[in-house]
Structures are given as structure tokens and as C-alpha cells.
Amino acid sequence: MAQKVDVALVDRVKAQLSNLVSETRGRLKDCSYIDLRIGVGEGQRAVAQDGMRKFSLGDYRLSYGLRVIAGRDISAAGYFGQSLGSADVDNLPRVILEGVQQAYERAMANSALKGDRKSRWESLGNPLQNTELAPIDVREDTIPAVCKINPVDVPLEEVSRLTQEVSRAVASSDPRVKVNQAMVETSLIRELIVSSEGASIDRTYALTQALCAVVAIGNSGAQQSHYDCLGHQRGWEIITEGIDEELIKSKPLMQFALDLAADNVALSEARPCPSSDKDVIAVTDPHYNTLLVHEIVGHPTELDRALKLETAYAGRSWLLRNLKENMLGQPIASPLVSAYSDPLLPGFGHYEYDDEATPGRRVMLIDKGVFSGFMNSRQTAATLGVSPNGHFKATDASLVPLIRMSTTVFGAGQQDPQEMIREVDHGYYLVGHRIPSISESRENFRITARKVFEIKNGQVGEMFRDGGIMANTRDYLMSIDAVGNDLRIYPVFNCGKGQPMQAKKLGNGGPTLRGYARLVGGTK
């Protein structure tokens, strides 16, 4: 009889797996390091479309991932990841040992071939080095979940009923709403990381999110399609009560969805956004700046990109050409601009330790306009000769972690956002983010907004649809002449990176900003 999979499984196997990793490392010849990550999740989700129930499911997820570093003359890494089921619960150590063996064999094969190429590739063999991890403060810790209503205690029928109710309310809110979809999920997740160095991090967290998408068609036939996400590392209460924290605020799901629908309807009656030939004053709100900071600050400050590991996929970073030529210590933004990644901030990007058991800490990315550091992993930190700062995360234990944003934000400034608008004779106010397109090394961006308002004589005027701004990253950051005091953090539910692509949940945000950029509307 298969055993139920729930987060309590970790209690039963923690000590055993910790020993397994340490003992196996000692037993495997030329093996210098092993780490094991196990993820257990239990939760439920429901989907409704146009007021009709479409899907609901309560299920679990159990998986593990391994890294083994081994090699005789030169070390290399091998990895193995696997999804597991309830049939494995009684045999977990045996199953994982098989995985260790496979990861070890890959590491040893990789090491032998690395050594061979190091000698055969003439001078181009020199960069091939041992796979090394920068040292960390090795810790044992247990972190409990924070939630008022535990996701596993919410009946699936309740999740499904509320999702349908929201979709039905949106569908009937205005005849111009033609299609809508609501997806709600709430889960309890527990992650265990053990390493042959002795680390043991056992973290449980709740994760609840809702996605709403609305299509509206105005009387002129103009179609508008927008979506938005409500989410936090909290329980079911965020869906029914909303969120009212210092940095994260959201209405309950019903009102959140109805507001999105109302925006869509209004936009479907708006005129298309014009384009400008020259830079205009662009005031951008915290929701827009959530995507802006994600794309133009967060991604280029991931050290794996900067060290070219994402050249074929998510791209490089204009901030580092090589270890000698880079922008560290150089001004890249107005002195009013600071930005940082902080895993200890609340929201989707929160954690105490990353997937290497490195304690997470705030990384100043831009300090008063000066580029000051990268998010990193143990391996990339060793390459750059800096300390690990805890930003190596995977979306599932079976996948190899990547350097990811935690909660990456523009820091708050001093100004009242209303005052920032009142100071503008003519410009545009961009509210809410929509879709981004960024050049490969993040040196240029075009990001559309949900709503674009014209500012005339300090007053917010006509609203336009289908518009955004385009600028060179450094030019835009340098142009910022006002930073608001209204820092907000929003959830980002689908940041894609890696091969295979991992769509990660994380937090981004910022205050209202004022800078200069080209206004770009639709193409005829």
C-alpha cells in the first residue's frame, strides 16, 4: 500500500538523508562534494473560464535533485533529477542512492573529458578549471511556514467555487468583457537541502496565487487583452482578504479581478497611444517599475549571465565583459537611483537560504547610481572572487538551480508621487506593466504599459491603449530625476531562464520613477 505524500515526509527522512549524503561522499572515489535537494508540495488549484468551471485538482509533488562534484585530476560536476511518487516513500534512500551513482558517473566522465581537452586544446584549454564552490557559513536550520489559513486545510470545492464565482462576476461586469479566465492555486511546500559539508536546511512555506486574464472588445471593435497576478508566500487568506502589508498590498481576488476587467473595458474605448520621435518625460508607477527593474536591473545583475553561461538562452549582461573590464564601481544611473535584491523581503521572492544552503542576504546592485554587485551562486562567486550571497534557486528540486532574482527592487526615494506628476508640463504617466522586450545584454528595452496617460500642466489627462516606452538602459537610468517614496512589491509568476526553461516565481517592485524615454505606440 502506497503511503500518502505530504510535507511531514521530510521529518521522517531528514536525518537519514543527511547521513546518506555525507557517507556516500566518503565512499565514492575522488568525490569532493554532494548536495541533495528534496521538494514536497501538497496543494490544490482550480480554473474557471467565462463563469464556467474548467478544472480542479488536489495533488502532491515530490522530487529530488543531486549535484556531485568529482574527478581525479580535475574536478567536474554531474547532476541527476527525478520526480517521485507515493510508491517511493518507503524506499527513498535506495532511490536517491541510485541517483547519486548516476550523477557521480556523469561527474567522473565529465572530469576525464575535461582533463583530456585541457591538454589537447592548446592554449584554449587553459580556462578549463576545477569545479569549485566558494565557502559558505554551513548551517542547520528549520523554517516554518507563515500563513493564517493553511492551504492544505482549504477544501478543493471551496477553491473551485470561488474561482468560478470570480470568473462569473467578471463575465457579467460589462457586456464588452468577452472572455475571462481565473486560475487559483494554493499550496504548502517543504524543501530540504542537505550537503556533504554538513548543511541541513529544512524550509516550509505556503504559496498562494491567482491569475486573471480578461479580453474586452470596445464599441469601436478595439480588442484589449490583459492579465495580472495576485500572490504571496501566504495561505488562502490572501485570496479572500487581500494583502495589507507595508510593502505588499492587494485587494481580495474578487475586487482584484473586477478592477482588471474595468481597466480592460475602459482601455477598449481608449485611443491608441501615439509615438514620439524624441524622448519624452515618462512617469512610471510601481507596477510598471516591477517589470522594468526585473528586466533592466535584475537580469543583467545575475552573475551567471554576466559570466556568459546564458549566452545561448536568456542572454549576457552589458555590465561585464570580462573579469577586468566591467562596470563594477562605475556610475550607470542617476545618483537618485538605488536598487537591490533582498531575499528577506516578503513576497514570492522570499527565502532565508538558497538552494545551496547559502544564507540569503541583501545585495546592493546599484548604490546611488553606482553599479555595486551581482547576485551569485557559490560557483560563480568563486570565479569572481567574492562571497556567495544566496541567489541560486531552482523551480523544482529535480532541476539544476540558476542564479535568480529574489526580491529585486528599485529603492524608495523621497518624493511624493503626486508631486512628481504635478512638476511635469508635458509628459506621460505609465500605469501597470504589460509585455517586455529586452536586447540580449539588456542594454536596450521596450516595455509596454497597461495604461498610458498624457500629463499636461501637471495634470493626468487622456488615457491611451497599446503603448509603452523604449530606451537604452543606461541612458534611461541616468535620466531619472525623481524617485517616489511609494515602494511596492508585486509578484512575478513566470520568469523564464535556463535549459530546460524554468518559469520562476519571484518578487519585484519599486517606487514611482520619472525619467526620459521614447513613447512607442502601435504599428500601422
What character string, x for contact with another protein (CB under 8 A) and - otherwise, covers 298-327?
---------xxxxxxx-x--x--xxx-x-x
The answer for residues whose C-beta is within 8 angstroms of residue 256's C-beta and 6 or more apart is 210, 212, 228, 230, 242, 250
C-alpha closest to that of 349 among 398, 305, 395, 406: 406
Pick one of 17, 18, 41, 56: the residue that binds another protein (CB under 8 A): 56
Q: Is 191 in the site for another protein (CB under 8 A)?
A: no
Q: Of residues 479-518, which lie at the interface with another protein (CB under 8 A)?
A: 496, 499-501
CB of 502 to another protein, least distance (A): 9
Classify residue 329 by its DSSP letter: T
CB of 302 to another protein, least distance (A): 14
Pick one of 439, 456, 459, 462: the residue that binds another protein (CB under 8 A): 439
Pick one of 178, 361, 362, 368: the residue that binds another protein (CB under 8 A): 178
CB of 131 to another protein, least distance (A): 6
Q: Of residues 127-166, which lie at the interface with another protein (CB under 8 A)?
A: 127-129, 131, 156, 160
* Cβ atoms 153, 58 nearer than 8 A: no
CB-based burial of residue 288 (10 Å sphere; 0-12 exposed, 13-18 middle, 19+ buried)? buried
End-to-end, the C-alpha distance of the chain in Å comes to: 64
How many angstroms separate the CA atoms of 131 and 51, rounded? 54
Q: Is 437 in the site for another protein (CB under 8 A)?
A: yes
Pick one of 218, 472, 485, 486: the residue that binds another protein (CB under 8 A): 472
* Cβ atoms 143, 186 nearer than 8 A: no
CB of 478 to another protein, least distance (A): 9
Residue count, binding to another protein (CB under 8 A): 98
Residue 327 amino acid letter? M
Q: Which range in 175-183, 194-202, 228-236, 486-494 contacts another protein by CB under 8 A? A: 175-183
Q: Rank residues 307 and 487 by Cβ distance to another protein and give the closer one.
A: 307
C-alpha closest to that of 242 among 212, 192, 208: 208
How many angstroms separate the CA atoms of 387 and 381, rounded? 6
Q: Of residues 365-404, which lie at the interface with another protein (CB under 8 A)?
A: 383, 398-400
How many angstroms separate the CA atoms of 155 and 228, rounded? 25
CB atoms < 10 A from the CB of 35, how many?
23
Q: Rank residues 287 and 316 by Cβ distance to another protein and give the closer one.
A: 316
Q: Of residues 239-278, which lie at the interface with another protein (CB under 8 A)?
A: none
CA dist 27 → 76, 104, 159, 320, 380 (Å): 18, 11, 49, 40, 28
Q: Is 405 in the site for another protein (CB under 8 A)?
A: no
Q: Is 52 in the site for another protein (CB under 8 A)?
A: yes
Q: Rank residues 160 and 376 by Cβ distance to another protein and give the closer one.
A: 160
C-alpha closest to that of 354 among 364, 366, 344: 344
* Cβ atoms 293, 339 nearer than 8 A: yes
Pick one of 217, 230, 239, 375: the residue that binds another protein (CB under 8 A): 217
CB of 480 to another protein, least distance (A): 15
